[in-house]
Amino acid sequence: MRDTLFEEIDALYDEMVEMRRFLHQYPELSFQEYKTAAFIQEQYKILDIPYQANIGGNGVVATLRGAKPGKTVALRADFDALPIQDEKDFPYKSKNDGVMHACGHDGHTTTLLAVAKVLKNHQEDLAGTVVFIHQHAEELAPGGAKPMIEAGVLKNVDVVYGTHLWTNTPYGIVQTSRGNFMAAADHFTIHIKGKGGHGAIPHQTKDPIVVGSQLVTNLQQIISRRIDPLETAVLSIGQFHAGNAYNIIPDIAMIDGTVRTFNPVLQHFIKDEIEKVIKGTCIGYDVSYDFDYSFGYPPVVNHAKHAEKVLTAAEQVKEVEKAEMIEPSMTGEDFAYYLEEKPGAYFFTGAQIENGFVPHHHPMFDFDERAMKIAAKTLIAATLNVNK
């Protein structure tokens, strides 16, 4: 049965590419994916697979019950896009100004719909039940996973799997981890409140840009001097905004950043240390501040047994050149919430374009569409292996 399903995925490839490129042209932001959700619902109507809409927001969940008894496997794909202008000069570039599928979620959606289609063709031979979770709002905390889980999408589920088409990894490689796989992703914002004035008379000001520059440097010492080197943590500043004229010292500077960790104790320690550094720096320059810290998604922690099952499944796919365990990534994903509730694993499907690497969340982002076949086949093999 597995080989037949793989052949059907191969036969669907042109259709998958067409669907993915259609979705790529009409991206929607997190929590605003109404047309995308409607598109997914229409596909399940065509497939005659029962589904529910508006789960936890814009989520769609379809359920395929095999004719034979067995366990219930949930497969998840996300379908939101990002507030990025698509700069590719391709016929399928985004038609929605300032919105782009810059992380492969169009490919995730297409992959899961293809899996649903071929499994439906063999419903009479299928053991157990497959739940297809199409999740909204992965890109924007608090995300779509948690409300969908609270709405009951994992009820009666035994195992949950998901994949990310990953352009950091070459085509033909599948990667996962037996434990920590992706990090907790937190967000903080600092507003430094100084006293503005003319750039020619700086002694009459309390320059928030100078304070902010010192603060950025001081914050880096939390990781380098306050954290055990054997621990894993990242603190990065992504935005620093102040002023609107070259010769005017502004009143306020804004600094925006992220913290990535695996250890919850360390996560809270870093938050506290950030505020200590802010307070001390601002006292030294006689300025005030506001500090906002948001705890984001928890770390993605795979269950070792199912990480092994993913690699076993990938090894059954002829296009896979290597299936391997890797060190954790410091990127974040709300798939973490599914794995807090149920056994399972998340994995990367290599999708790097042969002629060059373009990172996720980049205006020129694209991926090797052949990776959708590997992703689909690995998910199929993993699903079948659960009920062997």
At residue 275, the 3 state secondary structure works out as helix
DSSP, collapsed to helix, strand or coil, labels residue 133 as strand
Question: Is 103 among the annotated ligand-binding positions?
Answer: yes
CA distances from 53 to 35, 36, 136 (A): 12, 12, 11
In angstroms, the Cα distances linking 65 to 23, 47, 325 are 27, 13, 32
87 is in an annotated binding site: no
- Is-catalytic flag, 78? no
Residue 329: how many other CB atoms lie within 10 Å: 19
Helices (H), 185-302: 208-226, 264-285
Residue carrying the six token digits 């076949």: 373
Question: How many residues does this entry show for the chain?
Answer: 388
Nearest to 366 by CA among 102, 170, 152, 149: 102
Query: Do residues 194 and 208 make contact, with C-beta atoms less than 8 angstroms apart?
Result: yes
Distance from C-alpha of 67 to C-alpha of 69, rounded to nearest angstrom:
7
Distance CA 301, CA 336 (A): 7
Is there a binding annotation on residue 303? Answer: no
Please identify which residue in the block is written with the tokens 């079948």: 384
One-letter amino acid identity for 144?
A: G
Distance of CA 374 to the CA centre of its chain: 19
Q: Is 80 a catalytic residue?
A: yes
> Which of these is catalytic: 138, 207, 251, 334?
138
Element housing 187 (H / E): strand 184-193
Q: Helices H, strands E: what count in the chain?
A: 9, 16
Contacts of 377 (CB under 8 A, 6+ apart): 5, 6, 9, 316, 317, 319
Please measure the distance between the N-terminal and C-terminal CA atoms of the chain and give it in whole angstroms: 12
Cβ-Cβ contacts under 8 Å for 100 (sequence gap 6 or more): 27, 81, 82, 84, 85, 86, 94, 363, 365
Q: Which of 33, 80, 333, 366 is catalytic?
A: 80
What is residue 222's DSSP assignment? H
Return the amino acid letter for 362. Answer: H
- Binding residue ranges for Mn(2+): 103, 105, 139, 164, 361
Residues with active-site annotation: 80, 138
